[in-house]
Each structure stands twice: as structure tokens, then as C-alpha cells.
Structure 1
């Protein structure tokens, strides 16, 4: 079904999208192209307001959106200067619909899969527990892959949160994330981690697998297609060998 995959660069991150393209093309034998930032290639005057509407305003409220003038101005600045955005969570499904709407009609069909690598944190609503959950990716057309989500979505080791609580009780505030990451032993990725490109490869493949095979995730821990909810599991799935379970190795190979 998929003849071509188009990856879009995230200019303010350490992720090497060209390397991701080479990896995916070798795994799938489909044509993989790389374009500049999605929001540069596919522009629309409606984007600032649509992003404002997709803002998550409370972790425990399903409704989203803050379309006050100041918020829309912020989104305008973020579109022009992506290195200035951050600290905002967006409804990933809403953002996905927005980006789908600005795709050219000739490229909207599933034969061409668009995969923007984005510098924004995205989430999905959990109907089972009534709160928003950060995600690394949201599958579909286009498939969103969030660089901040790689660091923020999976849960870190329990010691991380205990140290955070301890520091807060002593000092009365939350320590910088970098301090916690240096003080806590454990397997987790940090912002601008040099392993980011390798770790995101599996999430890009999940986007392709979802369209091509009808499913995005594998239930077997350690497979690149596993949907990890903890950093230890993410590292095991994306950075350890073998890369795939036996079933998916038949589709995508065993060598790295």
C-alpha cells in the first residue's frame, strides 16, 4: 500500500532525519524522501489558531483550547521560530487532523505516508483514567513523531520521582530536570541525548507498519515495534539487540 514515505526535519532537535530515512529505506525497500520542517513546507494562515485550539489546558480535562489573542500570537512566533516553543502539551489527534488538512490533495492518499518529526509535546486522552498521556507518536496520516515525547512520555525509574519529591520537600521548589538526571542512576534518555536518532527509528517504523500491516505495535517487549511505557522498556526495545521479535524480523531483517 505504501509506495513512498516522506520524513520531515525537526530543525531545533538533535535528531538526524537523514539517518532515519536511510535506516527506514533499508528496512522496508520503499522510497523514503526527506523534506524540511513540515510547518515550513505546508503553511497555512489557520495554523496558529488551530494549534491554540489543540492546547491541553489541564491534565484532567478532556476539553482543549485557549484561543486568546496572546496565545495565538505565541503560536505565530513558534511557527516562525521553533526554538522558542516548549512547555506546551497538544492534543496529538487534533494536531494530526490539522496537518492532514494542509497536505496537498495529490499527497493525501495512503500511498504516500507523511511522517513529521516534531519539536512539540503531544498527548492523547485516556478514557480509562480520565487524563492526558504524553506520547512519542500518533499513528495515521500524517504520523506524528515527537522528539520531546521520547524523553517525557515514558515513565522514568522510581528513584527519579523520589529524588524529585525529596528535593521539593527540602527546597520548596522543583529542581531542574538536568540535576535530577545527573543524581539518579537508571536507564533513561535525557533531552538532546545522542541516542535519540537510534531510539526514534523504531517509532518511525511503527508509523509505516501501521499503514502497511494494519497494526502499529508489537506485544513482545524488546521488539522495535513495542509500545514502551517505561524508559527501561524503551531502551530495551530501541537500543538493544536483537532489534525485532522473530515475527517482525521476518519483515524487517535481523541485522543492524
Structure 2
């Protein structure tokens, strides 16, 4: 049984850990506390190189890691100033392990769930298709919730990719993301979206639900515990009523 939940702030101010924790606290029995960014308080001299070892090198290459001096220095800068980092995907399970090794002594049991909001893009390897897939969250201890994953992991509406292809055929290049987002109809989340905090609440609850019950994602569309693969499904699940399916409403309705 989970008796305590700790949520670590993200570098991005668009993800309000305090608001997420308050929402979660209204829906679960264990108390929820908020701590500063995990890597700001738990980093050590080896962490930059450890992150370098988890970098995804290619979408279709299972092997990870590049510990050349320049890469390690980049990872150190990313730890010191995370708002300046980006454009890299990390093996989510490997990151989970290296952060798990740095959990505070006496807090590593499954009775104390740690949830880390992160500005890093995370992926998991798909044996079924031989490629990496971006994820919004990685469940377990500690659980990881990726802020950029919210925008990047679920596929955008089909109209987005059609507009991107049309622009490429006409001009020969890919239009800036901001141009595409302004031209495409349909509701989807974009970088620094003001709805980010609300959308992340369900993904944080998923971390608690998994550790508490052993159950994975909900199969019912529109439930906060669902794991939609497309952005319109994320909007339905995380930002529209009702919050939960009938089964999970009994557990988590405030």
C-alpha cells in the first residue's frame, strides 16, 4: 500500500506541481508533498555521464549512450540549466533506474511513491516494430512524467500531417512547427500550452494507480487513466468531463 506520495517540480513553469499535488491530494488517501526539482537536490558527480549513457542515438537503434566529453558536458549544462536543453530522447527505463538509485535513503520502498516531473523527452523501445516510442510517463518507482512528452508522444490529428506533407511538396522543406500549429484545425496540445498542468494531472494519477493496484492503463476512452495514442484522445481523457469511467470514478471521484 502506498502511504506517501512525493511529487518533484519540473523546470518548466507551465507545469504547476503545486496545483497537480492539490488535485491528487483530493482524490487519494495518502498525503502528497511537493519537493524541488529532483536533479537539483539529488544530483552527484556521476549523473551527467549517467544521463549521457541513456541517450537514444537513432529511432531504430536499440543501443543507447554517447559518453564523449562534449556530450557529457552538454548533460552537465542540462542539469544546471534544464530550460536550455532539448532535442534529445532518453531511454525512459534507464533514466528511471538511475534516478531510483538516487532516491533518499529510507524512502525507496513501494510505500513511498516518488513522481518526477521532467523536461526531458523519454522513450521506450518497441520490440514489436523495432523502434523507439516517445512516452508521456514511465510507471514504476520512481515514476517519470515528461512535460515535452505530453506534446510530442501522442500523434497529432491527421490534418496536421497532411498539411505538413502538402507544404513539403510545394516548398521542398518542412514548415516551422508554429506555422503548422496555426494552420491546422483540431484540438491538440502544443509546447507551453496553458492546459499543460490540467492535462498532466491524469498522468500523475496513473503513476499512483499503477503502484497501488498493479493495473496498467484504463481501456475506456475518455478516462483520466487511459493512455491515448493520439492528441484528440488526450484532450478527451484529460480535459473534458467526465473525468473517469464508472469503475475509476468510484475510486477517485473527489
TM-score (norm 2): 0.98
For 1:86 and 1:222, the matched residues in 2 are separated by: 30
- Residues of 2 paired with 1:152 and 1:124: CA distance? 14
Residue 17 of structure 1: aligned partner:
17
Deviation at 1:169, TM superposition (A): 2.5
User: How far apart are residue 64 of structure 1 and its match?
Assistant: 0.6
Asked if the contact 1:207/1:216 (under 8 Å) is kept, the reply is no
- For 1:170 and 1:84, the matched residues in 2 are separated by 33
Determine whether 1:183 maps to 2:186: no
Aligned residues: 254
Q: Which residue of 2 aligns with 1:125?
A: 125
Partner in structure 1 of residue 33 of structure 2: 33
The answer to whether the 8 Å contact 1:13/1:147 transfers is no
Gaps of 5+ in 1: none
2:237 alignment partner in structure 1? 237
Q: Deviations over 1:112-133 (max 9, x none)?
A: 1110100000000000011000
Superposition CA RMSD, Å: 0.9
Secondary structure of the 2:70 match is helix
1:74 counterpart residue number: 74
Corresponding residue of 1:64? 64
CA drift of 1:173 comes to 2.3
In structure 1, distance between residues paired with 2:169 and 2:98: 42
Q: d(CA) in 2 for partners of 1:12 and 1:26?
A: 24
Please list every run of 5 or more consecutive structure 2 residues that lacks an aligned counterpart in the other structure: none
1:172-211 → structure 2 map (5 Å cutoff):
172-211=172-211
Q: Which runs of 4+ in 1 moved over 3 A?
A: none
